[in-house]
Every structure is written in structure tokens, then in C-alpha cells.
Chains A and B, each alone.
Chain A
């Protein structure tokens, strides 16, 4: 499993599309939907985590630990299924934790849960990529691999 993280409009999707042009993309939406899992041999790109969290916040008023657990269960299911089915999973997560603390409680919770998601995903991923202004850098190794999201390999 791989994690691609970066700020809004940083070039994350372009990078993943270039690397995996035949991947199936799935954007998470409603919090109540069943976990999406990869089919045998396929590459599955899962995005829209912030949308999932926002929907879940509305239905789970104050239990952030339960929401974090629900997210990690989804990550664990993706990881286990990836291995069982010889598939590849790519997670796209938005970095949103570097601005000022939001005034509204719900946006603060979204920011916290999104940050925990990034940590929990990173801990489970074989490779972690940080995308910034259309350039990428591998974070999970001291030998940083860098490149351009637009360039050809």
C-alpha cells in the first residue's frame, strides 16, 4: 500500500494518474458506506477521505476515537485485501494541518481526524510520497527520491 499526501491542488492526482493510468479510482463519500476493497490483481486508488470524515462527523457527534478506529479498520482491510488478492492500493490524503486552528469545532475535528488518518496510513504503507507544487519526494526512506509529477520516467 502506498500513501500520496500533499496540500490542495498540489498535483497528487496527476502523479497517481501518470504512475497508474489503468487504476480504478474510488472517492469515499458517505460515512455509512461499506469499505471499498481492491479486486484481484487490480490497482485501486482511494481518495475523498476528508469527505468520509465530514459525513462521519455529522453522524458521530463527539466520539473521535471511534471515528479514528473506524478509519484504521478501513486501512487494515485495504492492506489485508491487497496482500490476499495480489493487488495494489494507493491512498490519496490531503494535507490540511498547517494553517491556523479553525474557529469551528467541526472543522477542528476534521483537521485532527485527517491528521491521524495520515499518520495511521503512513504507518501501514510501504511507500509514502509527499507532493508539493507538482514535485514529489519520498518520505519513508532516508534516501529521498524526488521528481516531477509531470515528467516522464
Chain B
């Protein structure tokens, strides 16, 4: 089971995705994991990460890895996993690890394949950023293009695609448990 949850800033997408992972875990058993893509680069980001951790509560096994596919190797088959979020992963892939778009997308593809092969209920969270004014610089365009290619690929693969608006889930594909 793969689900893709996206929305605008502070739309409630992370909270909804967490509930979705809990639901999957309840039905399937096994542990639940949280795969963090953020690193505490400054005090604001550290506080943001701490707030998310407190909101999630106990019972999560936290993984931190920039390479998503390598992180999935640590996840028990049959478990449930929250990946939050693709926007930060794309940013680090391009600007911290200097990956080409094709290499980053290949990593994402391996992640999806591993989740399928290990029967992991994978819930991927991301931000919708492509409906404002088009970027004016090359770096932002590269970032937007990578993230959108990733969104399209994940949405195509996912069994369930949800847009969260003001905390309310709008189902674009599949159905909620």
C-alpha cells in the first residue's frame, strides 16, 4: 500500500498522514516508522522538528537518512512508514548532495519498489508548491521540476492520493481505509 498526501503549508497534511499510518498499522499490525528528511540546520528548523516529534507522540521508530532507499532497508517487512516530506528530500538531493534529477528520481523509484517488495504501507507527504508564480531563477526551476516529476511519479504509483485542504482530505485516487 502506497499513499501520497500533499497540500499547502499548514494545511494539516502531516497530521492527516500520521493518522493514516496509524490506521494502516491498526489493520496490518507490525511497527510504525517515521522517516525524517529534515535536518536541524538552524534553531527554527530544530524547533519545527521538535514540534512535529511532540505532535506525533510515542510509538514511532524514527529513521533519519538522506537516501530514502537506504533508509527503507532498515524497515521491517509488513510494517507502516511515514515519509515526511518530499520537499525537503528534493532540496537536499539537489543542493546538499548535488544529485542530477535522474539520479534523484532513480532513488525515489527504488524506494517505491522496496516498499512494494517488502509489503510496507508507505505514506509519503509533500508540499504543493507549483501553483504560484513560476520561478525566475534556474535553481528554483530545477527544484520545481524535480519535485513535480517526483510528485507525478508517486501519484501514478500510489494506491491512494489525497490533497489536504484546511485539514480536510480530498481524495484524488483510490480510497481511504
Give the contacting residue for B130; candidates A9, A50, A97, A107; CB below 8 A.
A9
| Min CB gap A3→B, angstroms | 16
- Contact indicator A95/B131 (Cβ below 8 Å): yes
Contact flags B110-133 to A (C-beta < 8 A → 1, else 0)? 000000000000000000101111
Sample of 22 A–B contacts (CB below 8 Å): A7-B128, A7-B132, A7-B148, A8-B131, A9-B144, A9-B149, A10-B148, A11-B152, A98-B132, A99-B131, A99-B132, A100-B132, A132-B128, A133-B6, A133-B152, A133-B172, A134-B153, A135-B155, A135-B172, A146-B173, A149-B152, A151-B156
- Interface presence of B32 (CB below 8 A): no
Task: Report whether A8 and B173 are in contact in the complex, using a CB–CB cutoff of 8 Å.
Answer: no
A111 to B132, CA, bound (A): 9
> B133, B134, B155: which contacts A133 (Cβ < 8 A)?
B155
Given contacts A98-B131, A134-B151, A134-B155, 13 further A-B contacts (CB under 8 A): A6-B131, A11-B152, A95-B131, A100-B132, A111-B133, A132-B128, A132-B172, A133-B4, A134-B152, A135-B155, A135-B172, A146-B173, A151-B156
Which of A98, A110, A111, A135 has the most chain B CB atoms inside 10 A of its CB? A135
Known contacts A132-B163, A134-B156; decide if A148 and B173 are in contact (CB<8 Å): yes
Chain A 99-153 residues near chain B, CB threshold 8 A: 99-100, 102, 107, 110-111, 132-135, 137, 146, 148-151
Q: Interface residues, chain A, CB within 8 Å of chain B?
A: 6-11, 50, 94-100, 102, 107, 110-111, 132-135, 137, 146, 148-151
Of A9, A95, A100, A149, which is in contact with the most chain B CB atoms at under 10 Å from its CB?
A: A9
CA of A146 to CA of B144 in the docked complex: distance in angstroms? 24
With known contacts A146-B172, A148-B156, A148-B173, A133–B132 Cβ distance under 8 A: no
| Shortest Cβ distance from B4 into A: residue | A133
Residue numbers in A under 8 Å from B6 (CB-CB): 133
Residues of B within 8 A of A (CB): 4, 6, 8, 128, 130-134, 144-145, 148-149, 151-156, 161, 163, 172-173
Min distance, Cβ B175 to any Cβ of chain A, angstroms: 12
List chain B residues, Cβ under 8 A from A137.
172
Which residues of A are found within 8 Å of B144, using beta-carbon distances? Answer: 8-9
Contact of B132 among A50, A96, A132, A146 (CB under 8 A): A96
Complex contact B155–A8 (CB within 8 A)? no
Report the Cα distance A153→B57, complex, angstroms.
44
Shortest distance between the CB of A73 and any CB in chain B (Å): 25
Instruction: Give Cα A131 to B38, complex, Å.
Output: 29
Q: How far is the CA of A131 from the CA of B161 in the complex (A)?
A: 13
In the complex, the 5 A-B pairs of residues with the closest C-beta atoms, listed nearest first: A99-B132, A134-B152, A9-B148, A7-B130, A7-B131
**A7 cross-chain contacts in B, Cβ below 8 A:** 128, 130-132, 148
Across the interface, name the chain A residue whose C-beta is closest to B6. Answer: A133
